[in-house]
Each structure stands twice: as C-alpha cells, then as structure tokens.
C-alpha cells in the first residue's frame, strides 16, 4: 500500500511530517516520499453511504465506527446535506404541470384532506401541498 514510488520496496521508515502528512524514507533506495492522500479524507461514496445509514436509523457514533470516521465528521456531513435540502425546499416553482388531478379529486366522495402534488419541471423536483377544508 505504501510502497516506495521509485523502487516499489515495502521497507521504509518514518522520517517526520511534512504539511500535515507522514513522510517516509525507503531503506532500499533512500528516496523520501509522502503518502498520496490523507487517510481521513472521505470520498463521495462514503458520504452517500453515511447518509443512507443515517436514513436507515443508525446513529452518528455507529456510522462512524462502521466507516472509520469520527461521529462529529458524520454529523457534519449529514448537517451539510440537510442544509442543501432546505435550500431546495425554499426554491419556488415557476412552471407547474397538473395532469387530471382536479378531475380525480372532484369525483371522489370526500375531498377533505386532499393534497396537490406540484412538480417544478425546470428543477425536476416536486413539492406536496396539502389543503384541508373544514366541513
């Protein structure tokens, strides 16, 4: 995994830290190198998996143990995603398509508690608007 990039030898020793990354020295060719990337940086797939596990009901600490990250990092990922979703919800729909919903609701025996699904075609998102009439 951390073989020498010059000679591919696995024999190495630690020689300090450079810019927050561990530095190594190859025993075979005496080449100094650092790891290619930090081990604590998450990928998009790991963040998606964390959100999926959270939506399945797992807690921050258990997700952190499974993925190998701190529970604080997991919390920050999910919080950031929640802020993105909140921004999407605040966006107003400009183009609305309603396909035969009015006639369907009109033929029902009761219309109390019926809802309308509004679809914003420009952003490909949908919003459910509930209407309640008192009888």
78 and 66: one domain? yes
Distance of alpha carbon 85 from alpha carbon 78, whole angstroms: 11
pLDDT confidence of residue 4: 87
Alpha carbons 2 and 26: distance in angstroms, whole number: 10
pLDDT digit string (tens) for the chain, length 135 residues? 578 889 989 999 999 988 888 899 999 999 999 876 655 677 888 888 998 899 888 899 999 999 988 899 899 988 988 887 776 666 665 555 555 555 555 555 655 555 555 555 555 555 544 444 444
- Dist CA 126 CA 83 (whole Å): 18
Structural domain of 48: 44-90
Q: Say yes or no: 71 and 99 in one domain.
A: no
User: Token match 């630690």: residue?
Assistant: 14
Is residue 95 helix, strand or coil? coil
pTM passes above 0.85:
no
CATH number, position 74: 1.10.10
Are 33 and 52 members of one domain? no
- In the chain, how many domains are there? 3
Confidence (pLDDT) at 83: 81
- Same domain? For 1 and 32 the reply is yes
């Amino acid at each position: 995994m951390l073989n020498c990039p010059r000679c591919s030898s696995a024999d190495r020793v630690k020689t300090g830290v450079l810019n927050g990354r561990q530095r190594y020295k190859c025993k075979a060719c005496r080449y100094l190198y650092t790891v290619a990337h930090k081990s604590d940086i998450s990928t998009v797939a790991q963040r998606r998996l964390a959100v999926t596990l959270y939506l399945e009901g797992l807690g921050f600490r258990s997700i952190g143990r499974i993925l190998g990250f701190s529970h604080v990092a997991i919390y920050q990922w999910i919080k950031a995603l929640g802020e993105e979703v909140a921004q999407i919800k605040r966006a107003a729909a400009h183009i609305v398509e309603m396909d035969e919903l009015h006639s369907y609701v009109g033929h029902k025996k009761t219309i109390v508690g019926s809802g309308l699904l509004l679809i914003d075609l420009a952003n490909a998102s949908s919003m459910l608007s509930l209407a309640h009439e008192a009888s």
